[in-house]
Amino acid sequence: MDNIIVTIARQYGSGGKTIGYMLAKELGIPCYSREILEIASEDSGINVTLFNKADEKLKRTPKFLLSKNVYSGELLPPESSEFTSNQNLFNYQAKVIKDLANKGSCVLIGRCADFVLKDYPNVASIFVHASKEFNLARALERSSMTEKEMEKFIARTDKYRGDYYKYYTGREWSDARNYDLCLNSGKLGFERCVEEIKAYLTVRFGYLPGAEK
């Protein structure tokens, strides 16, 4: 049976990650999010803290907002002075994403997976979004921040996700043309979003991952 890969990009507070794990559970396939960094660390031998620090460093780097370093797939060897560079750390994440996609059906959250796998015919890319009010209300349920603090945090997080995506892909993160399916979780609800993704997969591929073709 052929693999089917679902990639999910999402606005903060929209529940895209939750939807991804719900979908994976229903289909009986694995879902990967931060686990991608852990696997990349094991694969490369680079401490996982460096992968986490790379994200934080990019947030504070002015050139990150002005330049692009579009992923090309090249991995640098350990003897290279750029072995632990941000670009090479991303390239290892991309390698893991490809390895997981080749291994079997799965759901991949974030990490520009839709772009990394853009040439794979068996990939369905999803973007989950919702209104500012919905994202704020949901985010506040899981935080002790004030409403104003959370508003700023959501704005910063989504801006970073957009900048990160553009830096490594050259594309606009929130452009619907980059995805196969865009879902408003605030209007549909999480369970309906899962059903809509499953319906799309069935129409496009003729079967669902985790089921006999």
Distances (CA, A) of 190 to 14, 33, 62: 9, 18, 36
Q: In the chain, how long is the greatest CA-to-CA distance? A: 51
Q: Find out whether 36 and 55 touch, Cβ atoms under 8 Å.
A: no
Residue-range domain boundaries for the chain:
5-205
Distance CA(141)–CA(172), nearest Å, equals 29
Find the distance separating the first CA and the last CA of the chain, reported in whole Å: 6
Q: Where does residue 75 fall: left (phi above 0), alpha (psi -120 to 50 degrees), or beta otherwise?
A: beta
The CATH number, out of the four listed (3.40.50.1820, 3.40.50.300, 2.30.31.70, 1.10.10.10), of the domain defined by the range 5-205:
3.40.50.300
Model confidence band, residue 85 (pLDDT cutoffs 50, 70, 90): confident
Q: Find out whether 67 and 49 touch, Cβ atoms under 8 Å.
A: no
Q: What is the pTM assigned to this prediction?
A: 0.90
- Higher pLDDT: 49 or 173? It is 173
Distance CA(147)–CA(29), nearest Å, equals 36
Instruction: Count CB-CB contacts under 10 A for residue 186.
Output: 20
Of the candidates 21, 38, 150, the residue with the CA atom closest to the CA atom of residue 92? 38
pLDDT digits 0-9 by tens, 87-146 = 888 899 999 999 999 999 999 999 999 999 999 999 999 999 999 999 999 999 988 899
